[in-house]
Amino acid sequence: MPRLAFAQSFWDGYDMLEKPVRAGVRKAMRKFQTLSAAELNADKGLHLESVGSARDPRMRTIRITDFWRGVVLAPDDGSDMFLLVNVLPHDDAYSWAAKRLYSANSATRALEVRNAVALDELTPLYETAARNAPQLLFAGVSDGTLHELGIDDQVLRAARSLVDKAQLDAFATLLPEDQLEVLQYLAEGFGPDEVYRDVVAVRRPADAPAEPVEDLATVIANTSARIRLVTGPDELEEMLEKPFDAWRVFLHPSQRRVAYRTSYRGPVQVTGGPGTGKTVAALHRVKHLLGRREDGRVLLTTYTNALAAGLRQMLGLLLDEDEELLARVDVTTVDAYANGIVRAKSGIAPKPVGDREQRQLWEKAVKQLDLPFTSQFLAQEYRHVVLGQDLRDLDAYLGASRRGRGTGLGSARRCEVWSAVERFEQFLRARGETTHLGVCTRAAELLSEDAAPYAHVVVDEAQDLHPAQWRVLRAAVSSGPDDLFVTGDPHQRIYDSRVPLGSLGIATVGRSFRLRVNYRSTEEILAWSARLLAPVTVEALEGEGVDSLAGYRSLLHGRLPQVQEYATRQEETEALVDRVRTLVDDGLAPHEIGVCARFNLSLDTAEEKLKAAGIPVLRVRGQVAQGTEGVRLATMHAMKGLEFRAVSVLGVNEGAVPFAREITPREADPLQHESDLLRERCLLFVACTRAREALSVTWNGAPSPFLDRTA
Ligand SMILES: Nc1ncnc2c1ncn2[C@@H]1O[C@H](COP(=O)(O)OP(=O)(O)OP(=O)(O)O)[C@@H](O)[C@H]1O
């Protein structure tokens, strides 16, 4: 019986097909599982036929319905593997198939597809234009190097005709996938060795023979990033029946490399810009770890309860709802986990107070002690220095480094600060209360008294964790192979926690990986959002050196973000209602639309007006009720980790973004001033990068200064 495989290009469109067409696909595919190759060729209903003047002689079409055709790559090498690559309306199917050429990449050994006809047509035009160009994009890379990286003759000729990155982008949809990625990396300035390591080596099978084996079945087996093989009839039915979540099956090689490495000798760090699939990689790592042994519990953490609920659901999908496996994983936030530990081990339920109450207590301490500090300064000193380093007494504080703080404090001043700290903690004790970070500190202590409860800890959204939270995670698992797997993006740091991970026993040196391909947003949305961060540098996740978005890109294209000023809040809100209505008319479900603002107050107005227009809305606070229909309304902070097909960011006004009250005056502490500004800038970046297809950014009155460079 022939074997059957499905290319990602097929899945990309499958969920959009109407029911009868999908039924046609299922019927046709069943034939591939029940008929022999000869019977398939003879089957009248299937009508497997070659495509006239096709670039690839293996190209065939099959009948799906009267109007729809499947495009199939058929073996011509005696192997029995058929690959379904697309399903399109009749005429489109023939012209798509005629132009495409599939080939095995000489370096990665994977199957790639190009639009050979368009490449042949366009390359001479670009070559002519390039003759007078002062500089060519790949002038610095030799033909030999390009060949070693898998670039073949047709692509080489096209590459040699390009003068800049914009031209490479214009060729992107025509070029074979792996070769395109090689060229994109080179165009970003990565050296050939880095490109070989990050693009070629991660794909090339470990046991690849010196001479490529080109039969279709072998090449398909080498292409797990883009092709799914079907093993039996049940699997076929299940795949075609269920909504298809590409992230469960097609991992980018860089995702697969980090998630499925058999074992690491210690903590691992995976960074990458928004939407690069860090959460997906973390989930696959959990799957891998669960599969490695029959016992051993896994702790999977993220930042908010709403994200934890989402993660739990995704993990269920990835593990096919296998209850035994799911029972071995706890999915929660660090704070909730720490709270549970303190409750369980001390028998007392901790009562953490919120930010506002803390601020009031600091104010009270300042007043009672008549100190020359603001409550804001003390709160920050407590968070960053005292809790950050877990300082327990005055002596420890007097000797502590205050790295990252912008004001010097002599011993006399430190004594004053410490008196405030003692008073603040006294107030809390007297009320029987604590802080969230206080709960974490206690939980870490309690955990270290017994054997660590987990075999593995996987941490998502790690960029905002405070040292006290890291101590909990460190204490939850013994140091050793595969202890911690950490994913995060320092560009999305919105709570000002910069942590020297090494000093907390979480050294990731030699085990740091970066993801660069964005699967969420269009390149237009990404490029615009990335410009928000262009003026600043961002400290690396592990607290040493800086992080960069070099090579960060999307394969998707769409409309430019709408960036619009309004005279008044009312006009801005009315325009929002119109925009949302248009999106719904265009077919978006309300829950696929996100609206966000810096403050809850601005969202109140939006909520009222949207409701008045008959549009269902749902405020995202803590836990999002799954399945409840309604446009999601969230503050920028609550947008963390979420995604929507369309996002409207409202009220990006001067004074609001950055929120003037949250910015330490430069005179008070220049370093804190800069990091407050950076935090607010990142917050806007987070909000904008939640959008998949459509982003609008609006303000009323004067715009936020962060929008300066985005025009
Ligand atoms: N290999 C993949 N194939 C298809 N879709 C993917 C893949 N990896 C990730 N995605 C999709 O891309 C989107 C972003 O992925 P994910 O949430 O894991 O990114 P992230 O890096 O954690 O994002 P952020 O840092 O912005 O929260 C999701 O819709 C996810 O399903």
Q: Which residues of the chain have pLDDT under 50?
A: none
DSSP 486-497: EEE-GGG--S--
pLDDT of residue 403: 84
User: How many whole angstroms separate alpha carbon 699 and alpha carbon 566?
Assistant: 6
Beta carbons of 536 and 676 less than 8 angstroms apart: no
pTM: 0.90
Q: Say if ligand 1 is within 6 A of residue 508 CB.
A: no
From atom 3 of ligand 1, which residue's Cα is the shortest distance away? 247
Q: Which residue from 556, 478, 550, 474 is spatially nearest to 523, judged by alpha carbons?
A: 556
The annotation status of 481 as a binding-site residue, yes or no, is: no
CA of 438 to the centre of ligand 1 (A): 33
pLDDT of residue 357: 94
Beta carbons of 551 and 185 less than 8 angstroms apart: yes
List, in sequence order, every beta strand (DSSP E) within 423-506: 456-459, 484-488
DSSP 142-187: -HHHHHHTT--HHHHHHHHT--SHHHHHHHTTTS-HHHHHHHHHHH
Beta carbons of 507 and 482 less than 8 angstroms apart: no
pLDDT per position as a tens digit, 536-576: 999 888 888 888 888 888 888 899 999 999 999 999 999 99
Helix H or strand E encompassing 588? none
How many C-beta atoms lie closer than 10 Å to residue 257's C-beta?
A: 17
Region of residue 497 (left: phi > 0; alpha: psi -120 to 50; beta: else): beta
Supply 568's token pair.
């008044």
Q: Say if ligand 1 is within 6 A of residue 310 CB.
A: no
CA of 91 to the centre of ligand 1 (A): 34
Beta carbons of 579 and 631 less than 8 angstroms apart: no
List, in sequence order, every beta strand (DSSP E) within 636-706: 644-649, 691-700
DSSP 523-586: HHHHHHHHHHHTT--EE-TTSSSEE--TT-EES---PPPEEEEESSHHHHHHHHHHHHHHHHHT
User: Across the strands, what pairs with 553?
Assistant: 517
ipTM here: 0.99
CA of 526 to the centre of ligand 1 (A): 14
From atom 5 of ligand 1, which residue's Cα is the shortest distance away? 247
Supply 197's token pair.
């390591």
Give the rounded distance of the alpha carbon of 76 from its chain centre: 40
Supply 643's token pair.
């995604």
pLDDT of residue 235: 83
Supply 26's token pair.
């299922």
Instruction: Say which DSSP state 308 is in.
Output: H
pLDDT of residue 244: 79
pLDDT of residue 1: 76
